[in-house]
């Protein structure tokens, strides 16, 4: 690929894309510089101590166990939904994805308030598995759907049993989907903060917060931050490698014929019971516990601290305000970058786009600490401002927005834009009057997804909310960490409702979940 | 087409306008005499009670920013003279001692200082003691009998306690305890004690985690402030609570009583209003409100205000006698914790 694009890039567009890259790279660079300050001897002392070993073991053991359990559950569920005559499979397909819309620290709040006995490895495994198994379910179900059924049918006709077909034909086809899903689970587990902090389960991420709380020095937290970034980037690289690997394509083009479904027969009831259990654990308990604590409102439990209506309203407004602003800033960064990536070529463009995706490897806590440190040192007017928090949201969710923005722009026929240019419009006018209206629905979906993500974001909000601002997430956190479960419930309920509602609208409007 | 174009351009202005409007309300805090900014390491429920009552009484609004004592102190040092904070209210004295050493605090009104016992405020008069919290050992009677509990906090380093104790070394309440051992027993003994704890203890993030672990039977004993036991017992109901409280005696380091204090930042532009807030904190009605609230389980420092009925009266406690200055700023304690591998 050449550095120079075949068409010149307008300066304003290039500047906007460079700004986005700078916002992603600056916190990483700042963290690295702070960590450098520890020095070689200091770093050796800090990194090679028993505590770090324990944290790594905790984190890695949790990731591997979650990956195993979630793989089994997700694959079994996806196969039953896509390949059997399971009754009500459209509903089960939706229920298997809904946990994604429930923030994992809300799930964590629910389980911890059910029993403090879950404040352990078992509890952490339970919470992350039930929050993240849809990340494996979704790609596996999609792979099953797009697989040519004649492969499985041929294997059956050659005399293989159901299990043998699954193991020898289906599973190899699912491997890329499974691997991708597992790496996403690993990445989420590495960066998860709220769920583990409430469960009092210690990982590298919670330790960074603990160091920040007790230390008078930025550099130690930065050193752990760099370590965490490295692990995340490793996951990302493996994920993109797995996507390039082993792709199974059908040679015949056209619509895939749906696979014939296996009759469950006597297994119907046990399988239904299994799906019932899954939904009970992933959705029933969280919602049940929120409702339980809501009804405890006027009894003994409120004595620790009661939520009152003005507080609930002001937290809701704060959450909405930050989410709207955060979405606007995110889209302002994603639009030029997405346009650049779909309409121009050259190595520079590819580099800019990849830099934006790099922010997936930056945990919220590391980003927040870096931005606090940067603004306190260099950009005082932005320090503690709502705008800075919105920018942090934008960096966190830029990759999410960029995927959809890119897809939306990609679907617009270039010919229409060229017609616009031929009619005498400048490039900006073409974008504004031709491209944006055509790509509108896709861009709307991107904005909606960012909105949901910001509403449910905890870590950066907790560290960076402007003085006097308390969002729904911050209130759930403040109450749950001080064991005031009943006081946390109204905030948790509102947050779950807002998040589910937006997800539902998104699914209805854009058909992101099949069968809705 | 012009119409459409205009509408779209309107959208662009609208979008940028919306970002600014959403961001603006918090971009500027001028030194409004009717708004105080409070940095607090106290529990937010306590802060909400206090600020609501203060606003009702004086009409002065209070914005609060919450965190843990050490991180807020660090933040205040970094912010320096440009800090938005007028007041710092914390759970333990060492953070205030540190800020006083860095010359970041302003003198407190002598009338406010006179409302609490002189030994509970520093001799510099740069901050005032507001409440006190007691260090205790929480235990689960199903796992260990009260008669088997140690006479001293330092006994917990003995190998026979292996696997029977829970601690939260990264909780800001643990550092002052280490500082107390350091004052009473010296550097070497403290390090040996911490290394013993490291070998014996299960480590949790905070005191809430420790008391919950003891309550569910995951650990036999745990080092906490009595505050957290009272909170758990209130939320769960006493009948459902397994964990109980054991008080160290005879001036043992484990019986340390920490002082929660408040200070006015030297950089504050609202010192008059801030002085009013500090006077409000130590006033009898405020202290009675906190003690009766079932939200805060600290000992009131104003004379004649009884502590919450769940707590052992302060006159029956036998804490070690260590001055606030001698207890210091926690920095040596943090270094020892690190050396012992606990944080």
Residues A74-112: tens digit of each pLDDT: 999 999 998 888 888 888 888 888 888 888 888 888 888
Nearest Cα to Cα of residue A142 among A513, A477, A495, A498: A513
Check residue B29 and give its pLDDT: 47
What band does B30 get if pLDDT is binned at 50, 70 and 90? Answer: very low
Using alpha carbons, list the distances in angstroms from residue A158 to A145, A164, A260.
22, 11, 17
| Spatial separation of the C-alpha atoms in residues B302 and A1, rounded to whole Å | 76
Residues from chain A that touch B79, judged by Cβ atoms under 8 A, are: 376, 383
| Spatial separation of the C-alpha atoms in residues B215 and B199, rounded to whole Å | 22
Rounded (10°) angle between helices A171-191 and A50-83: 140
> Which residues face B39 on adjacent strands?
B65, B88
Nearest Cα to Cα of residue A296 among A103, A475, A488, A496: A488
Report strand pairing: B299-300 vs B105-106.
unpaired
> Which residues face B246 on adjacent strands?
B137
Check residue B181 and give its pLDDT: 96
Helices (H) and strands (E) in chain B, counts: 13, 11
The answer to whether the CB atoms of B74 and A436 lie below 8 A apart is no
| Spatial separation of the C-alpha atoms in residues B258 and A399, rounded to whole Å | 47
With a pLDDT cut of 70, the percent of chain A lying above it is: 93
Residue B329 has pLDDT above 70, yes or no: yes
| Spatial separation of the C-alpha atoms in residues A102 and A492, rounded to whole Å | 10
Could you give the maximum distance between any two Cα atoms of chain A, in Å? 73
> Which residues face B36 on adjacent strands?
B62
Higher pLDDT, A263 or A64: A64
Shortest Cα distance from B4 to chain A (angstroms)? Answer: 8
Q: How many residues does chain B have?
A: 343
What band does B28 get if pLDDT is binned at 50, 70 and 90? Answer: very low
E strands, A69-115, are none
Q: Mean pLDDT over all residues of chain B?
A: 88
| Spatial separation of the C-alpha atoms in residues A31 and A28, rounded to whole Å | 5
Q: Domain B133-256+330-339, CATH 3.40.190.10 — does that match?
A: yes
Task: List the domain boundaries for chain B.
Answer: 35-131+259-311, 133-256+330-339
| Spatial separation of the C-alpha atoms in residues B343 and B329, rounded to whole Å | 17
| Spatial separation of the C-alpha atoms in residues A432 and B294, rounded to whole Å | 59
- In which element (H, E) is residue B17 found? helix B2-23
Shortest Cα distance from B151 to chain A (angstroms)? Answer: 29
Residue A247 has pLDDT above 60, yes or no: no
Q: Give tens-digit pLDDT for A407-442.
A: 888 878 778 888 888 888 887 788 788 888 888 878
Among all residues of chain B, which has the CA nearest to that of A302? Answer: B235
Task: Report the residue from B63, B70, B216 with minimal CB separation from A213.
Answer: B70
Q: How many residues does chain A have?
A: 516
The phi and psi torsions of B86 (rounded to 5 degrees) equal -100, -40
Residue A1 has pLDDT above 60, yes or no: no
Interface test with B, best of A216, A382, A451 (most B CBs within 10 A): A216
Quickly tell me which residue has 């639009």 as its tokens: A335
Residue B339 has pLDDT above 80, yes or no: yes
| Residue A474 DSSP SS3 | helix
A431 touches chain B (CB under 8 A): no
Please, are residues B110 and B342 in contact by the beta-carbon 8 Å criterion? no
Residue A253 has pLDDT above 70, yes or no: no
Q: Which two tokens stand for residue B99?
A: 């800020």
| Spatial separation of the C-alpha atoms in residues B38 and B62, rounded to whole Å | 7
Shortest Cα distance from B97 to chain A (angstroms)? Answer: 14
3-state per-residue secondary structure call for A296-333: HHHCHHHHCCCCCHHHHHHHHHHHHHHHHHHHHHHHHH
Residues from chain A that touch B66, judged by Cβ atoms under 8 A, are: 478
> Which residues face B223 on adjacent strands?
B137
Shortest Cα distance from A482 to chain B (angstroms)? Answer: 7
ipTM score for this prediction: 0.78
With a pLDDT cut of 70, the percent of chain B lying above it is: 90
Among all residues of chain B, which has the CA nearest to that of A317? Answer: B22
Check residue B141 and give its pLDDT: 96
Interface of B with A in 9-38 (CB under 8 A): 9, 12, 15, 18-19, 22-23, 25-27, 29, 37
Please, are residues A328 and B15 in contact by the beta-carbon 8 Å criterion? yes
The angle subtended at Cα B210 by Cα B319 and Cα A291, nearest 5°, is 125
Residue B26 has pLDDT above 50, yes or no: no
Nearest Cα to Cα of residue A108 among A185, A192, A196: A196
Nearest Cα to Cα of residue B270 among B31, B16, B13, B82: B31
Check residue A176 and give its pLDDT: 81
Check residue A3 and give its pLDDT: 66
Using alpha carbons, list the distances in angstroms from residue A224 to A28, A204, A453.
12, 7, 25
Average pLDDT for A321-338: 93
CATH topology assigned to domain B35-131+259-311: D-Maltodextrin-Binding Protein; domain 2 (3.40.190)
The answer to whether the CB atoms of B343 and A214 lie below 8 A apart is yes
Please, are residues A343 and A335 in contact by the beta-carbon 8 Å criterion? no
Q: Give tens-digit pLDDT for B155-166.
A: 999 999 998 999
Average pLDDT for A163-174: 86
**Identity of the highest mean pLDDT range in A40-44, A363-367, B65-69, B96-100:** B96-100
What band does B6 get if pLDDT is binned at 50, 70 and 90? Answer: very low
Check residue A513 and give its pLDDT: 45
Q: Give tens-digit pLDDT for B35-46.
A: 999 999 988 888
Check residue B280 and give its pLDDT: 97
Residues from chain B that touch A328, judged by Cβ atoms under 8 A, are: 15, 18-19, 22
Shortest Cα distance from B216 to chain A (angstroms)? Answer: 6
Domains B35-131+259-311 and B133-256+330-339 share a fold: yes
Nearest Cα to Cα of residue B135 among B293, B320, B292, B294: B320
Check residue B5 and give its pLDDT: 47
Interface of A with B in 149-188 (CB under 8 A): none
Q: Which two tokens stand for residue A442?
A: 């896709």
Shortest Cα distance from A174 to chain B (angstroms)? Answer: 40
Q: pTM of this prediction?
A: 0.85
Q: Mean pLDDT over all residues of chain A?
A: 84
Nearest Cα to Cα of residue B224 among B238, B237, B206, B242: B206
Using alpha carbons, list the distances in angstroms from residue A245 to A51, A174, A179, A256, A285.
37, 12, 10, 22, 39
What band does B221 get if pLDDT is binned at 50, 70 and 90? Answer: very high
Please, are residues A91 and A184 in contact by the beta-carbon 8 Å criterion? no
Higher pLDDT, A228 or A147: A228
| Spatial separation of the C-alpha atoms in residues A490 and A492, rounded to whole Å | 5
> Which residues face B35 on adjacent strands?
B61
Helix, strand and coil in chain A, % to nearest 5: 80, 0, 20
Q: Give tens-digit pLDDT for A63-73.
A: 999 999 999 99
What band does B311 get if pLDDT is binned at 50, 70 and 90? Answer: very high
Task: Report the residue from B18, B78, B294 with minimal CB separation from A376.
Answer: B78
The phi and psi torsions of B35 (rounded to 5 degrees) equal -130, 120
Q: Give tens-digit pLDDT for B250-289.
A: 999 999 999 999 999 999 999 999 999 999 999 999 999 9
Nearest Cα to Cα of residue A513 among A33, A90, A76, A50: A90
Residues 6 or more apart whose CB falls under 8 angstroms from that of B152 comprise B248, B252, B253, B254
Please, are residues A420 and A474 in contact by the beta-carbon 8 Å criterion? no
Q: What are the structural domains of chain A?
A: 29-245+267-298 (1.10.3720.10), 301-516 (1.10.3720.10)
The answer to whether the CB atoms of A200 and B209 lie below 8 A apart is yes
Please, are residues B96 and B258 in contact by the beta-carbon 8 Å criterion? no
Higher pLDDT, A406 or B157: B157
| Spatial separation of the C-alpha atoms in residues A287 and A107, rounded to whole Å | 9
Check residue A41 and give its pLDDT: 83
Rounded (10°) angle between helices A347-358 and A218-244: 120
A432 touches chain B (CB under 8 A): yes
Among all residues of chain A, which has the CA nearest to that of B71? Answer: A213
Residue A301 has pLDDT above 60, yes or no: no
Task: Report the residue from B8, B64, B342 with minimal CB separation from A433.
Answer: B8
Average pLDDT for A215-220: 76
């Amino acid at each position: 690929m050449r550095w120079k694009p075949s068409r010149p890039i307008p300066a304003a567009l290039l500047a906007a894309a460079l700004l986005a890259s700078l916002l992603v790279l600056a916190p990483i660079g700042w963290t690295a510089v702070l960590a450098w300050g520890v020095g070689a001897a200091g770093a050796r002392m800090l990194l090679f101590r028993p505590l770090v070993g324990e944290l790594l073991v905790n984190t890695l053991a949790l990731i591997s166990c979650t990956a195993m359990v979630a793989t089994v559950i997700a694959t079994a569920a996806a196969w039953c939904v896509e390949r059997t005559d399971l009754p009500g499979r459209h509903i089960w397909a939706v229920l298997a994805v809904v946990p994604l819309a429930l923030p994992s620290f809300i799930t964590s709040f629910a389980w911890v308030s059910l029993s403090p006995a879950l404040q352990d490895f078992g509890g952490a495994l339970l919470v992350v598995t039930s929050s993240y198994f849809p990340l494996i379910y979704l790609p596996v179900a999609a792979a099953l759907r797009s697989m040519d059924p004649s492969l499985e049918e041929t294997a059956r006709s050659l005399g293989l049993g159901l299990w043998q077909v699954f193991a020898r034909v289906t599973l190899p086809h699912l491997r890329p989907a499974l691997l991708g899903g597992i790496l996403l689970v690993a990445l989420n587990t590495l960066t998860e903060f709220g769920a583990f902090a409430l469960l009092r389960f210690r990982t590298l991420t919670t330790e960074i917060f603990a160091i920040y709380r007790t230390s008078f020095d930025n550099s130690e937290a930065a050193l752990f931050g760099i370590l965490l970034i490295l692990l995340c980037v490793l996951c990302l690289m493996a994920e993109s490698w797995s996507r390039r690997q082993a792709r199974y394509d059908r040679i015949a083009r056209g619509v895939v014929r749906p696979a014939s479904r296996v009759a469950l027969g006597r297994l119907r009831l046990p399988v239904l019971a299994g799906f019932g259990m899954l939904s009970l654990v992933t959705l029933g308990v969280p919602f049940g516990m929120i409702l339980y604590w809501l009804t405890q409102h006027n009894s003994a439990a409120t004595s620790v601290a009661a939520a009152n209506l003005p507080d609930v309203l002001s937290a809701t407004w704060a959450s909405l305000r930050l989410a709207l602003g955060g979405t606007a800033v995110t889209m302002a960064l994603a639009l030029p970058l997405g346009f650049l990536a779909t309409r121009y070529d050259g190595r520079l463009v590819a580099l800019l786009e990849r830099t934006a995706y790099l922010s997936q490897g930056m945990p919220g806590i590391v980003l927040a600490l870096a931005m606090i440190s940067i603004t306190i040192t260099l950009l005082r007017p932005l320090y503690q401002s709502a705008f800075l928090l919105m920018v942090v949201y934008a960096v966190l969710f830029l990759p999410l927005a960029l995927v959809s923005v890119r897809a939306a722009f990609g679907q617009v026929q270039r010919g229409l834009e060229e017609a616009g240019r031929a009619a005498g419009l400048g490039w900006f006018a073409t974008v504004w009057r031709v491209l944006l209206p055509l790509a509108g629905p896709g861009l709307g979906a991107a904005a909606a997804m960012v909105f949901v993500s910001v509403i449910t974001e905890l870590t950066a909000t907790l560290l960076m909310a402007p003085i006097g601002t308390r969002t729904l997430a911050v209130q759930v956190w403040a109450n749950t960490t001080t064991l005031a479960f009943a006081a946390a419930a109204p905030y948790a309920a509102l947050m779950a409702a807002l998040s589910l509602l937006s997800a539902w609208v998104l699914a209805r409007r854009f058909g992101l979940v099949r069968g809705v | 087409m012009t119409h459409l174009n205009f509408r779209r351009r309107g959208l662009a202005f609208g979008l940028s306008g919306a970002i600014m409007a959403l961001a603006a309300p918090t971009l500027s805090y001028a030194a409004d005499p009717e708004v105080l900014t409070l940095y607090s390491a106290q529990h937010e429920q306590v802060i909400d009670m206090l600020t609501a009552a203060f606003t009702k009484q004086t009409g002065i609004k209070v914005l609060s920013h919450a965190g843990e004592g050490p991180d807020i102190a660090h933040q205040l040092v970094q912010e320096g003279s440009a800090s938005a904070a007028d007041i710092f209210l914390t759970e333990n004295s060492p953070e205030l001692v540190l800020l006083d050493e860095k010359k970041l605090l302003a003198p407190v009104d002598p009338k406010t200082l006179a409302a609490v016992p002189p030994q509970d405020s520093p001799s510099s008069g740069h901050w005032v003691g507001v409440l006190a919290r007691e260090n205790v050992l929480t235990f689960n009677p199903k796992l260990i009998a009260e008669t088997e509990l140690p006479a001293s906090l330092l006994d917990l380093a003995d190998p026979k306690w292996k696997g029977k104790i829970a601690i939260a070394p990264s909780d800001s309440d643990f550092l002052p305890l280490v500082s107390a051992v350091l004052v009473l027993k010296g550097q070497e003994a403290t390090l040996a004690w911490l290394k013993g704890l490291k070998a014996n203890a299960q480590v949790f993030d905070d005191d809430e985690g420790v008391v919950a672990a003891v309550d569910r039977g995951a650990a036999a004993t745990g080092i906490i402030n009595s505050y957290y036991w009272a909170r758990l017992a209130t939320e769960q109901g006493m009948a459902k609570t397994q964990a109980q409280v054991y008080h160290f005696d005879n001036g043992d380091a484990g019986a340390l009583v920490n002082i929660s204090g408040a200070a006015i930042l030297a950089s504050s532009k609202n010192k008059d209003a801030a002085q009013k807030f500090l006077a409000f904190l130590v006033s009898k009605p405020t202290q009675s409100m906190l003690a009766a609230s079932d939200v805060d389980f600290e000992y009131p420092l104003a004379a004649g205000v009884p502590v919450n009925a769940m707590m052992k009266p302060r006159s029956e406690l036998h804490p070690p006698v260590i001055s606030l200055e001698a207890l210091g700023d926690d920095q040596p304690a943090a270094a020892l914790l690190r050396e012992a591998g606990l944080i």
